[in-house]
Structure 1
Amino acid sequence: MAWIYARRGTTIGVMSLRKPLWRRLLRVAAIIIAALLLLVLSGLLLADHLAPQARGEASQVLPLQPAQTPIDRQIMPLQAAHPGQSGVAFLSDGMDAFAARAMITEHAGRSLDLQYYIWHDDLIGHLMAKALYDAAERGVRVRILLDDMNAKDKDALMMALDAHPNIELRLYNPFRNRSGIARTLELVQRAFSVNHRMHNKSWIADGRIAIVGGRNIGEEYFSARSDVNFQDLDLVVAGPAVQQANQIFDDYWNSDAAIPISALATYTDAQLRQLVRQSDLDALHAQAQPYLQRVAESRQRQRASPEPLHWSTQVRILSDPPMKHHGDAHDDWLVTALVRQLQSTRYKALLISPYFVPGSEGLDGLSAMAGRGAQVGVVTNSLAANDVAAVHGGYMGYRVPLLKAGVQLYELKASGQTGDSSLFGSSGASLHTKALLVDDQRGFVGSFNLDPRSAYLNTEMGVLFDDPVLGAQLRAEYLRLASPEHSWWLALGADDELRWLQREPPPHWVEAEPGSSLGKRWTARVISWLPLESQL
């Protein structure tokens, strides 16, 4: 009996000493938070040592030749007929944009230099990778620079191209850890340094012709997905301005942020052969036939763009510096050049941006322009069309003050099944065009979203022009996107409540975010309360 009482007493004593569940959970949470803080602190202190340090051999664009390649022989007479001018053509149609890249790759005989934020492991990604492989097989030197945020497991086959002796692939600001939980932990540890990404998009052939704009490489960017209504825009550029694109690429390629994939991971000849076999199979797929047919039509026209080039003296290709986040001066940043253009507005400023978070300075600037009588219009994504709830949450609070200031707002309608909104995704939004037009003449088309991330965190690039013909073409694209068929028109009702006008017959007002679910509306609203704007 004494033994039993002793055991009972001990048990009771142990239970009386056990801490409440909420205190134990609080302790576990504190340990997790402390571990995360320690990871982030180590990243802040050791960031330069944690990032991969391997450097590739420096290289530059190959010297131009008068008639070495088909592109030389096509572009040189055009340049001679338009001395001091650069030729430009718009690529708004997805199939045309695919065919233009395929054509300049097919005609390239010297070099191909590409830099992209995203390259998907899908039909379009495979077809374009095969085009690069075929060019390399002809002896063309191929340099590919990809941002590493989206170049992990799903793009292993794409990176296998590096196994070809004529192809080198480098990653911008890469992770040491290529996959799994280790990559996730590194993301936390280097949270501040990996937050800076390369958002540039360019495809340059033989140093003479370039495609610059908003498209990444993947099905949704070239109208190859039935569930996404993607509106996007690129420009084909030939002539002297391409030398600026060449210099931009070389600066990024030889920067400290560009690391050879061969220094980070190993890919085999077998994987390269697998990529080639898969690409050949993709070319037989029914979904690929319209794209290959459009390439065949372009081949008959013997030019890369669906329309003839328009030649102008006022065309420049601009970019942020490759190590943008390391300097404090903004003089050579793209945001500075674009703000300068907007500040020169006399009577009209038209803006197109998938993600539109103007900030207090942008709000004041646009309001001031409208206040002095200029027409200020913005086309952006509606909540239903936007896959990034965080960005819409950052934008939604600016709508009422912008409308009260006289700024015109249009939100693109969702078309097809856009899927669920994510916090920080980027590939499902209906609108992807990034452009602005000032006074119907001075314009920009590129990768720059009108938000803090493009302004201060990511590197961006694009084409800046001052030409009434190109201005008219960009204005037509703005009007198409802002048309009743594609967009809602926003206005204020009683008590400054937002309303959306459906302008297609029968016209009617909508009082809530049109086409969006209650869950999406609540998600965007909650995120709008959080201090995230600087990261959007």
Structure 2
Amino acid sequence: MRRIMIWMGWAVLAVVLLVASGLLLADHLTPRASGAASTTLPLQAAQTPIDRELAPYLATRPGQTAATLLHDGLDAFAVRAASARIAGRSLDLQYYMWHDDLVGHLLAREVYAAAERGVRVRLLIDDINTKGLDPALLALDAHPNIEVRLYNPFRNRSGVWRLLEMVQRFFSVNHRMHNKAWIVDGRLAVVGGRNIGDEYFDASSRVNFRDLDMLLAGPAVADASGIFDAFWNSSAAVPIAALNPQTPQALHALAARLASDSALPGARDYLRRVAASPSAQRLVNHELSAHWSASIVVASDPPLKFRSSDRDSWLQHRLIAHLDGAHREVLLISPYFVPGTNGTATLVGLAHAGAQVGVITNSLAANDVPAVHSGYERYRRKLLEGGVHLFEIRRNGPKPNQGLFGSSGASLHTKAFVIDGERGFVGSFNIDPRSANLNTEMGVLFADAGLAQDLRQEYLRLAAPALSYQVRRAPDGSLQWLDRSSQPPRVLDHEPDAGWWLRATTRVMSWLPIESQL
């Protein structure tokens, strides 16, 4: 026993020394940005098909941005694929995750085809989820018209050394780029909550996310391009070629793989579903009406948020200012909802002041990160006591294999709010400490009654009995979940659709001091 204690002591000391060296040498351990600076290519009146179509269209409403909400996954895929096909100048793509799956391959194929036509492609991906993707990313980077950079990357690309680096640089690698943007020719932008992967585009055979993007054309696209340039040229963005040797011969193999993948039965079936979607085709054919407004901006955290003490430049500060100005109604959608003491007080204060305050988040069974749910449940009772209405998304589809810290089973991924039926936000920002303090986030802020009405309708759709449980307090103060899909409504006295072990472990996690990491 004594020998075991000695070995445990040495192990703890080794970890402490490893982390301490990371704190002392962080600037030297972090890979250096070595890419040449570049910026968004200037707009032209008629250089590309998008220029020729949009320039006259936008000229009819100078100073205004056209915006359309993309609720449906097939629509969201169609817009990205179709815009890449008609791109003639540039594709600037910024994502937290790009999966090695059907949708990831189909959209990579569109990006590669655009580069083959001479389109300049800049692809910026957060490095936390790129393990195993280096061969494909390096192959893309080998194309003369494609450059790939990784945000806050690991120096060690695989194996135990990558794990050791994660421990050593814990405090620096804990800061991630959660931004999502698809920018075409500097004319069109898709900004919102979707990463690139099957579950975000209704292509998964298991469980698909309910998510939301906004398609933009007009002055607000320049905001998105400016944000992209700031991240691309920051010291946190490192060319992948500087981290791993290039293998140009792999480009041809990747191109062949992407072409063959698109001919597989699963790909053909998915593309047929996209083609058969009336709303997707209306989007592709520019037949959907957009909301026009001069009060639409794309905003983001600074690229080096983790080194900035000026919180006024953080996205959180702008979102709080919007909430503070609420009078009648505040409707929030956040899959990961950990409001904290201050956030809870703000929402309860708004309810006490007479505003209708509602929140939609994931139920425990639907949450892909139960540890986050443990942070949420600490505040659930206080929110209900304070007059806040809570709705929890029902688990959608078969139960996935769910661990304590993640699975593929979340059914809600939308991050948005609408205030007083007049203004709102759609983006990547969760109402939790990680979005507030650790990750960089971005999204669209707007003040337009038409967009607000569309977003309010999405809130009401998600809060409807078919999709959500309503949480309420019982007469004895305990919590109840109301299943309004049956008549009469069924009352549940514990977390619905979740087994006792998951409920118990989540409760235990709620006692741990991990909220700052959620």
Q: Under TM normalisation by the shorter chain, which class is it?
A: over 0.9
1:108-161 deviations in Å (ceiling 9; x for gaps): 100000000000001110111110100000000000000000012145314421
Q: Name the SS of the counterpart of 2:498 in structure 1.
A: coil
**Aligned mates of 2:286, 2:103 — CA distance in 1:** 18
CA distance in 1, matches of 2:506, 2:36: 46
Q: 1:36 aligns with which of 3, 15, 19?
A: 15
1:51-66 counterparts in 2 under 5 A?
51-66=30-45
Against the structure 1 CA distance between its residues 314 and 291, is the aligned structure 2 distance closer, same or farther, given a 3 Å change threshold?
A: farther
Residue in structure 1 matched with residue 109 of structure 2 by the alignment: 130
Q: Following the alignment from structure 1 to structure 2, what is the Cα–Cα distance between the partners of residues 484 and 252?
A: 41
Alpha-carbon displacement from aligned partner over 1:188-229 (angstroms, at most 9, x marks no partner): 000000000000000000011100000000001101112113
Aligned to 1:503: 484
- Residue 406 of structure 2 is matched in structure 1 by 425
Structure with max Cα Rg: 1
Q: Does structure 1 retain, via aligned residues, the 8 Å contact 2:94–2:180? A: yes
Q: Which runs of 5 or more structure 1 residues have no equivalent in the other structure?
A: 1-21
Deviations 1:477-516 (A, max 9, x none): 0001000000000001133111000001231100110001
- State the Cα deviation string for residues 235-255 of structure 1 (Å, max 9, x = none): 000100101111000000000
Corresponding residue number in structure 1 for 2:61: 82
CA distance in 2, matches of 1:492, 1:300: 45
Deviation per residue, 1:64-115 (Å, 9 max, x gap): 1001001101111111111110000111111110000011111110000000
Which residue in 2 is equivalent to 1:414? 395
Q: Give the aligned CA root-mean-square deviation in angstroms.
A: 1.6
TM-score by length of 2: 0.97
- For residue 360 of structure 1, what is the aligned residue in structure 2? 341
Look up the equivalent residue of 2:294 and give its one-letter code.
T
The alpha-carbon distance between structure 1 residues 307 and 291, as it changes in their structure 2 partners (threshold 3 A), is farther
Alignment of 1:440-451 (within 5 A): 440-451=421-432
8 Å contact 1:96–1:306 — kept in the other structure? no
CA contact (8 A) 2:484 2:490 kept: yes
Q: Match for 1:512: what amino acid?
A: H
Q: Where in structure 2 are the equivalents of 1:295-444 lying within 5 Å?
A: 303=284, 307-425=288-406, 427-444=408-425
- Specify the alignment match of 2:84 in structure 1: 105
Q: Which amino acid aligns with 2:454?
A: Q
- 1:408 deviates by 0.2
1:472 aligns with 453
| 1:327 positional shift | 1.3
Do structure 1's residue 519 and structure 2's residue 501 form an aligned pair? yes
Name the counterpart of 2:160. Answer: 181
SS at match of 2:421: coil
Structure 2 counterpart of 1:484? 465
Consecutive unaligned residues in structure 2, runs of 5 or more:
none
Distance 1:25 1:222 in 2: 50
Give the Å deviation of 1:528: 0.4
Q: Secondary structure at the match of 2:390?
A: strand
Gap change, CA 1:436 and 1:463, over 3 Å in 2: same
Alignment of 1:235 with 2:214, yes or no, is yes
Residue identity matched to 1:529: W
Give secondary structure in 1 for the equivalent of 2:458.
helix
* Map of 2:242 onto structure 1: 263
Match of 1:145 in 2: 124
Contact 2:75 2:280 in 1 (8 A): no
Count matched residues.
Answer: 515
Give distance in 1, aligned partners of 2:387 and 2:116: 57
- Counterpart of 2:390, as a letter, is L
Q: Identity rate of aligned residues, in percent?
A: 57
Q: CA deviation at 1:275?
A: 2.1
Query: C-alpha separation between the residues in 1 aligned to 2:3 and 2:285?
Result: 66
Q: TM-score, normalised by structure 1?
A: 0.94
